[in-house]
Amino acid sequence: MNRAAGRRAAEHPAVDGRTTDRRTTDRGSATILVLVSIVFSMFAMVGLADVSELIAAKAHASASADAAALAGAAELRSRGDADAGARRAANANDTTLASIDVDTSDRSVTVTIDHVVDLRLFGAKHVSARARARVG
């Protein structure tokens, strides 16, 4: 292909009828697309990290609720004070015991655990879990 034919292939008519070189009008658009892609990817990664942290916090709260309910049931069996055992277990797991329900007729302990997790993109979120344990 000769130079004149290559030059004509790169030219296209502008709005006012003049021809412009396509290489000069598209210059820099790839940089903008790359920058937008990088910013979008960063937000997506932070969002995914927040979602995974929220899932981990929910699992932690659930495990803490199980431990608090079992500790409360053990205390109910030995000393009759389920509240103290459940609170110790919740505090040991860095969670808050939101409520405890002791059913003496059924000899069961039901606890609700609250846990606050700080997320980078979505802020602070409360996660709660509930568990029940029976004596015997």
Alpha carbon of residue 27 to chain centroid = 39
Tokens of 48: 């995914």
Its pTM surpasses 0.85? no
- Tokens 């609170």, residue? 87
Spatial distance between the Cα atoms of 61 and 94, rounded to a whole number of angstroms: 9
Tell me the average pLDDT across 125-132: 97
pLDDT above 80 for 4: no
Look at residue 136 in the predicted model and tell me its pLDDT. 80
Residues 86-118: tens digit of each pLDDT: 999 999 999 999 999 999 899 999 999 999 999
The mean-pLDDT minimum among 15-24, 43-52, 113-122 falls in 15-24
Look at residue 53 in the predicted model and tell me its pLDDT. 95
pLDDT above 60 for 132: yes
pLDDT tier for residue 9 given thresholds of 50, 70 and 90: low
Look at residue 79 in the predicted model and tell me its pLDDT. 87
Bigger pLDDT: 98 vs 9: 98
Contact by Cβ (8 Å): 87, 75 = no
DSSP state of 91: H
pLDDT above 70 for 15: no
Q: What is the mean pLDDT of the chain?
A: 87
> What is the CB neighbour count within 10 angstroms for residue 70?
17
Question: For the residues of 51-82, what is the DSSP string, one character each?
Answer: HHHHHHHHHHHHHHHHHHHHHHHHHHHHTS-H
